[in-house]
Structure 1
Amino acid sequence: MWKHGLIFMCLIAGIYCAVDTAIENKKVERTIDLTSQLVKVYHKINLGRTDNGVISAYTFVLTEDEKNHLAYLSAKDGSKKELKLTESKTSNGWEYLVSFSNPAATQTLYIEAVYTKMLQAYPASITQSEKQLVRYFGNLYFFSPYKTVNQETSVYLSSRNVESYTQIKPVSMSESTISYGNYENIAPFTTEELVIHYENHSPFLIVSRLERTIEISHWGNIAIEETIDILHSGAKLKGSFSRSEFQKDTRNSLSAVKSYKTILPASATGVYYRDTNGNISTSNMKILKDSVELDLKPRFPLFGGWKTHYTLGYNVPSFEYLFNNGDNYLLKMRAIDHVFDDMTIDEAIVKIILPEGCTNIKLITPYPITRLPDTLHYTYLDTFGRPVISFSKRNLVENHIHDFNLKYNFAKITMLQEPLLVVSFLFVLFVIVIICMRLDFSIVKEKEIHHHKD
């Protein structure tokens, strides 16, 4: 996997010419979090110059391999203000240009990167009672087009059980943390493979597909339903599964996922959790001060390579998310919500069903999405259909839990349409009943005539 980075090292001339070579990474403090199935890398970079100029922009570089696994990237200045990142593809990799709002001779930069599917189960298959080991491949040094004067790296693991790790001095290990550095005077684009092989039993669950449907009612309710496909992407189960062994020894099957917590809004009501067989009653719901915690337990424990499919639904009051000024409405809700801790979603499809009669619909999302064709949804008493706004997004993590804004116009008088349809239907029904009651369909008179003739 790291070969791509080594190839990238050989082709750096084009990038190197494009950056300000007077800028230096005076001190880089890098933290690599490997405690879950995600790889989270945090950088604190103190910048300076070798001349008397100012720093107005900075170039952050990713290799092609890192880009393929990248789910989220953000940059902040010394005051923790969000900075704009401008992405560009080069012949060698990916550049992210960071622009500072206040140019200065020195700058502090915070960069956070979250990668998915970067940890490899090794061995790839294990028995029910074996421990799950994974390997991480990375770069020991901060990969940068600038010279790095001083660098420290801390790697946080989920276990003290470490099979092996790169040992380039100075290096030390304490509990479940490996510390590298200080390393000094690192040339631009220096690479040195960092490999860590360790035990990791955190849930390696991937939401392969999430379909989230949000149905808006102007009568005070919003119905939310999520159809979720989950895959355990850890070391695959080797051999057959023994239910008796699983229940007998709780120390075994550490890599199996028995349950996980989903967080719902505090106002969630009418919660249901079912799969293709019906309702799953093994879940527990706990109402907290600011949320509803749902402990979901699938019908069977999830081992490596196993899948599950279920539907989760609930209702929330519309006044918390729907705002209006006259006939102008604004819906402000999360594009995705918390499924489980350190989640990764391969593909999410969000569908918003609006009331019939909405016009001038405008969608504003917190990050780039793929807009899907608008469709119509029909329910009881609909005449020309409810507009459905849909969009999709791939490779999501918890950092993508942000609100989208949906603006639209809706004439309030349109809300009378359904009650009037019901009243009209009942009125017509009563008229038909009255008419039928007044008509004489009996054959008594005919019988009487026949009797008189006789």
Structure 2
Amino acid sequence: RYSIVSKHKMKLIRLFSLVLATRFCFAALPQVTFYDGLKNHEVNRSVDISSQTETVTIKVNVSNIGSEEAMSYIVAFPVQKSEHLAYIKATRGTGSKKADLDVDRVVIDGLSTENAYYRISWDTPLKARKWRKFQIKVEFTHVLHPLPAEITQSQTQLMKYEGSVYFNSPYATKKQQTEFKAFSSAIESYTRHPKPIAKKGSKILAGPYVNIKPFTYSLMGIHYENTNPFITATNVVREIEVSHWGRVSIAERYDMLNSGARLTGPYSMLDQKQKRNIQKAAFRDLVVTLPKTAENVYFRDRIGNISSSNFRKTRKFSSLELRPRFTLYGGWKNDFEFGYQVPSDEFVSVNQKDKTFHKLSAPFSIPFPNAVIDNLTVKVILPEGATDIEVSLPFEVDSYTMETLFSYLDTTGRPVVVFNKKNVVDFHRQHFEVVYNFTWLAILREPFFLFTGFFIAFLVFIGLSRVSLELSVPGDEVKDIVLKSQENTVANVESDDGSFDEYRHMIVTDSDALAVAKSIVDSCDRFTSSCEDGVKRGSLSKKAEKSLPKLSEMLRQLSVIESSTKDFCSHLESIAHEMRGMVAKKNRNGLRKLAIDFNAMMNILKSS
């Protein structure tokens, strides 16, 4: 699946080997047998110490003087120096025919343990009596040391370098020469033996030397002026968060140190402002090159946002000039963070054959040039639901792990690919790739949970709003019920004797308030109808006259059973007596008004 989306010539990391190496902390180095049939016919070295690192380029012309085929070439470095090795790279050929060769660290049986050995594997074996040309490039960090270690604000920074005049090789060398390139021609002193050694401007030429034995060593010390700011990031954490909703966010946190000569003596802000007698080795700003589409850029430290920054866009890229709160002199530290966003299509592409597969291609190292990182951690936060994750790097890393990050609206968590590497330099500012499977259903997961959450919240709100926790009917509701009853009064009521004979069999007890209330409602309906008929005749029937005392008795029983209805029952009873008076007076209008109030009270009783 990975081969479908790969477009660059990058070596696929042996994923399972890295996982095992992470679990067991250290992987056993392979042991190989040394083949002594090779001889360096000619070696030309170029040692560049003009910056804060040592970059060595070695051009080798090797011949096979033995009787067997040679499959590899061994390079040796002192063990202490190998701890500062940033990278080693071997190539063969030139121009379009230039090809990278595999390099790995090995253990050589029978050779000195004071050296660390690296095996360069050739693509084709070197046959006997044949020769081959190839090139080796290595870079070391923290091999330059300030001398003196402390300087004042007005002094110039000087560095001391110690290396070897000869190429430290396990093979004999017929001819070799070395060129050392300093920062400038201001070289205080240098080693003058073994001759010939000559200084030409900012360069020191050693050799040519002939017939050098294996592992021949001769100290080369150079004390020279180097006013480069020694920008060292002791710890850097880069987080690349991938979102399929249009943005990829990059956040970087730095612990910065000027690892040059430490500042001693008085410090003058005035001299710094006027740029008088100020150290050139102190760095005041950092220039960052970002993608052209970068936006939402921020720059802050532990105090807050830093406004002394300048962001501008060009046709090909965006440039961000960061200026910390104070100038960093030698030995001074600072910590800050900055971040930005780019459109997703800037870093993420889709496989045209299988559109569920996506590829993230992003730079591995920081965007600061000429900086050394002691410890770099890169975290790639993929969207939740990403599967089938494969990683490709143009170089090896110290560790590789998988983690899970939980953020808002996450259920299973987001997969996080974590890389860790030490001694990171500009060489590592290359793109790496992460290929993963991500379907459109996974994209809709978070919106679905968000919609479902709001929907459930609204349902709960609607349900709670319909539940009444009050023990009595509020006064406003009573008024609404009365008004509604007045509008819905029945004009004609069927006549009835209003007899309560059917209720005589009911036994009213103190605990049967509901049955009493129901009986009262039915009796009141009949009593109202009897009053309507009584207006026409001029008097109530005998059954209606007898039912009134029983109605009053029921109301008193209800008021005793439910003390909260005492006032209600008294008011209802008084209306019933007034209705009887209106019947005797044949006052139809008065009776109708009392009937409206009476019915309203009955509706309240029914709703209660």
Give the conservation status (yes or no) of the 8 Å contact 1:321–1:331. Answer: yes
The 1-side partners of 2:431 and 2:462 are apart by: 54
> CA 1:434–1:86 in structure 2 vs 1: closer, same or farther (change >3 Å)?
closer
Q: Which residue of 2 aligns with 1:99?
A: 121
Displacement of 1:160 in angstroms is 1.7
Does the aligned pair in 2 maintain the 1:377–1:387 contact within 8 Å?
no
Q: Which moved more, 1:79-88 or 1:25-34?
A: 79-88
Q: Equivalents in 1 of 2:333, 2:383: separation in Å?
A: 35
Distance 1:52 1:412, change over 3 A: same
Determine whether 1:327 maps to 2:356.
yes
Out of 230, 245, 252, the position equivalent to 1:204 is 230
Aligned counterpart in structure 1 of residue 86 of structure 2, from 54, 71, 80: 71
CA separation in 2, counterparts of 1:368 and 1:306?
A: 29
Aligned counterpart, 1:407: 435
Match of 1:6 in 2: none
CA contact (8 A) 1:54 1:106 kept: no
2:390 match: 362
How far is the alpha carbon of 1:214 from its aligned partner?
1.0
Higher percent of residues as strand? 1
Name whichever structure is richer in helix by fraction: 2
Structure 2 CA distance for partners of 1:422 and 1:23, relative to 1, 3 Å:
closer
Alignment of 1:23-422 (within 5 A): 23-50=38-65, 55-79=70-94, 80-90=98-108, 91-102=113-124, 103=126, 105-168=130-193, 169-324=195-350, 325-339=354-368, 341-366=369-394, 367-379=396-408, 381-422=409-450
**Unmatched 5+ residue regions in structure 1?**
1-16
Matched residues in 2 for 1:187 and 1:365: separation? 38
**In structure 1, C-alpha distance between the alignment counterparts of 2:139 and 2:371, rounded to whole Å:** 11
CA distance in 1, matches of 2:443, 2:33: 59
Shift of 1:444: 1.1
**Does structure 2 retain, via aligned residues, the 8 Å contact 1:78–1:107?**
no
Q: Deviations over 1:335-382 (max 9, x none)?
A: 22322x222111111122221222233333331331235122212x33
CA distance in 1, matches of 2:277, 2:184: 15
* Cα distance per residue 1:163-202 (max 9 Å; x no partner): 1001132222222111122222222211110000001111
Superimposed CA distance per residue, residues 81-127 of structure 1 (whole angstroms, 9 cap, x where no aligned partner): 11111311353322222222233511111000100000011111111
**TM-score, normalisation: structure 2:** 0.67
Distance 1:56 1:388 in 2: 39
How far residue 50 of structure 1 moved from its aligned partner, in angstroms, is 4.2
Corresponding residue number in structure 1 for 2:476: 444
Distance of 2:77 and 2:475 partners within structure 1: 92
Alignment CA distance shift 1:408-1:50 (3 Å): closer
Query: Which has the higher mean CA deviation after the structures are superposed, 66-75 or 174-183?
Result: 174-183
In structure 2, give the amino acid aligned to 1:403.
Answer: H
Q: Which runs of 5+ in 2 are unaligned?
A: 1-31, 483-566, 575-608
In the aligned structure 1, how far is the partner of 2:398 from the partner of 2:303? 34
On the 8 A contact 2:271/2:277 being kept in 1, the answer is no
Distance of 2:71 and 2:439 partners within structure 1: 49
3-state SS of 2:427 partner: helix
- CA distance in structure 2 between the partners assigned to 1:222 and 1:249 by the alignment: 41
- 1:250–1:330 CA distance, 2 compared to 1 (3 A): same
Aligned residues: 436
The alignment-based identity, stated in percent, is: 34
SS across alignment from 1:253: coil
Deviations along 1:19-44, whole A, 9 cap, x unmatched?
44442222211111111101101011
The alignment partner of 1:164 has SS state of: strand
**Aligned-partner Cα distance in 1 for 2:212–2:477:** 113
The residue type equivalent to 1:261 in the other structure is V
CA contact (8 A) 2:157 2:281 kept: yes
CA distance in 2 between partners of 1:443 and 1:230 (Å): 72
Task: Look up the match of 2:534.
Answer: none
- Does the aligned pair in 2 maintain the 1:353–1:377 contact within 8 Å? no
Q: Which amino acid aligns with 1:222?
A: V
Distance 1:18 1:389 in 2: 37
Using the TM superposition, name which of 438-447 and 278-287 deviates more. 438-447
For 1:365 and 1:249, locate their aligned partners in 2 and report how far apart those are by CA, in whole Å.
44
Kindly indicate whether the alpha-carbon contact (under 8 Å) linking 2:375 and 2:421 is maintained by their aligned counterparts in 1: yes
Equivalent residue number for residue 19 of structure 2: none
Amino acid at match of 1:356: E
Q: How many angstroms apart in 2 are the aligned matches of 1:434 and 1:66?
A: 73
Judge conservation of contact 1:70–1:115 (CA < 8 Å) in 2.
yes
Q: Distance in 2 between matches of 1:240 and 1:336?
A: 37
SS of residue matched to 1:96: strand
Q: Give, in whole Å, the separation in 1 of the partners of 2:412 and 2:104.
A: 43
User: Cα distance 1:176–1:286, how it changes in 2: closer, same or farther (>3 A)?
Assistant: farther
Rounded Cα–Cα distance in structure 1 between residues aligned with 2:345 and 2:286: 30
Question: Within 2, Cα distance between the matches of 1:389 and 1:151?
Answer: 45
1:428 shift after superposition? 4.6
* 2-structure distance, mates of 1:369, 1:111: 21
Of structures 1 and 2, the larger Rg is shown by 2
After TM superposition, give the deviation of residue 438 of structure 1 in Å: 8.0
Q: What is the rounded CA distance, in whole Å, between the counterparts of 1:66 and 1:426 in structure 2? A: 61
Paired with 1:360 and 1:164, the residues of 2 have a C-alpha distance of 58
Give distance in 1, aligned partners of 2:175 and 2:140: 25
Larger mean Cα displacement after TM superposition, 362-371 or 347-356: 362-371
Q: Secondary structure at the match of 1:278?
A: coil
Comparing 246-255 with 181-190, greater Cα deviation is found at 246-255
Larger deviation: 124-133 or 62-71?
62-71
Distance in structure 1 (CA, Å) of the matches to 2:53 and 2:78:
18
Instruction: In structure 1, give the amino acid aligned to 2:38.
Output: I
**Whole-angstrom distance in 1 between the partners of 2:212 and 2:265:** 48
Q: Find the counterpart in structure 1 of residue 451 from structure 2.
A: 423
Distance 1:357 1:86, change over 3 A: closer
My pick for the range that moved more, 388-397 or 88-97, is 88-97
Query: What CA distance in whole angstroms lies between the structure 2 residues aligned with 1:176 and 1:251?
Result: 24
Change beyond 3 A, Cα 1:249–1:218 = closer
TM-aligned CA deviation for residue 260 of structure 1:
2.1
